[in-house]
């Protein structure tokens, strides 16, 4: 997987317009990877919403990832999943989803990064870079210096997440981030497309 730019993650709890509207705006802004995350929805709701988002991603030529829920990913034939440290082990997820699936893993330090690379994951989500209120259990921020150390230690795409804003996003890119995730800095705004384009400029 070779993608550079803004990595969009849905968050209905923070969104001012809803997941579907946000995804449409993200794709219009040129986003090439979308992660569907819904911690509060029922399985039926998630299935229906994931189907709609997958169709939008297919039309735009973007990768569609489901957060955590391998069952939903399989049901809608998503491109892959993103797994946290408490989710299903990588090996089992790979067996279920197949060799072609895109699987990303959240990591917090160099040791986890090297292990993820050894396992064969497609990319890593390094979290948190800065302090964040979006995910309460995110852990202690590693800062730009920690991100730089991880980017030197592993040879795989890196998505930086956690406290990313327009004020510090460029620093994260310069430290080795191939992708930036800035959920609250985007979905809480009236013009999601415009805000994402501002982040996209860090990669040009």
Q: Is the pLDDT of residue 193 over 60?
A: yes
pLDDT digits (tens, 9 = 90+) for 92-143: 999 999 999 999 999 999 999 999 999 999 999 999 999 876 656 557 899 9
Report the CATH number that the domain containing residue 110 is assigned in CATH: 3.20.20.70
Domain boundaries, position 86: 5-203
Calculate the alpha carbon distances from 103 to 3, 57, 78, 156 in Å.
14, 17, 11, 12
User: SS3 of 66, please?
Assistant: strand
Q: How much is the pLDDT for 133?
A: 66
| pLDDT, mean of residues 48-65 | 98
Query: What per-residue confidence (pLDDT) applies to 74?
Result: 98
- Name 118's Cβ contacts closer than 8 Å, sequence gap at least 6: none
Give 17's DSSP letter. Answer: S
Chain segment 69-85, per-residue pLDDT in tens = 999 999 999 999 999 98
Domains contained in the chain, number: 1
Burial category of 16 from C-beta neighbours within 10 Å (exposed 0-12, middle 13-18, buried 19 and up): exposed
146-187 pLDDT per residue, tens: 999 999 999 999 999 999 999 999 999 999 999 999 999 999
Dihedral angle sign, alpha carbons of residues 137, 142, 147, 150? negative
DSSP, collapsed to helix, strand or coil, labels residue 83 as strand
Q: Which residues contact 99 (CB under 8 A, 6 or more apart)?
A: none
């Amino acid at each position: 997987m070779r993608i550079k730019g803004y990595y969009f993650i849905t968050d209905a709890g923070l969104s001012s317009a809803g997941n579907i509207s946000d995804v449409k705006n993200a794709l219009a802004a040129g986003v090439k990877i979308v992660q569907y995350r819904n911690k509060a929805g029922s399985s039926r709701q998630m299935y229906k919403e994931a189907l709609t988002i997958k169709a939008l991603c297919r039309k735009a030529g973007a990768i569609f990832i489901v957060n955590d829920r391998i069952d939903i990913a399989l049901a809608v034939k998503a491109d892959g999943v993103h797994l946290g440290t408490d989710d299903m082990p990588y090996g089992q997820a790979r067996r279920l989803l197949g060799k072609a699936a895109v699987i990303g893993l959240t990591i917090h330090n160099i040791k986890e990064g090297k292990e993820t690379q050894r396992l064969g994951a497609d990319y890593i989500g390094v979290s948190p870079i800065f302090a964040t209120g979006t995910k309460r259990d995110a852990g202690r921020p590693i800062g730009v210096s920690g991100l730089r150390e991880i980017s030197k230690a592993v040879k795989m795409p890196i998505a930086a997440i956690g406290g990313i804003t327009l004020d510090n996003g460029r620093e994260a890119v310069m430290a080795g981030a191939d992708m930036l995730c800035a959920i609250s800095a985007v979905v809480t705004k009236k013009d999601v497309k415009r805000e994402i384009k501002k982040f996209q400029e860090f990669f040009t």
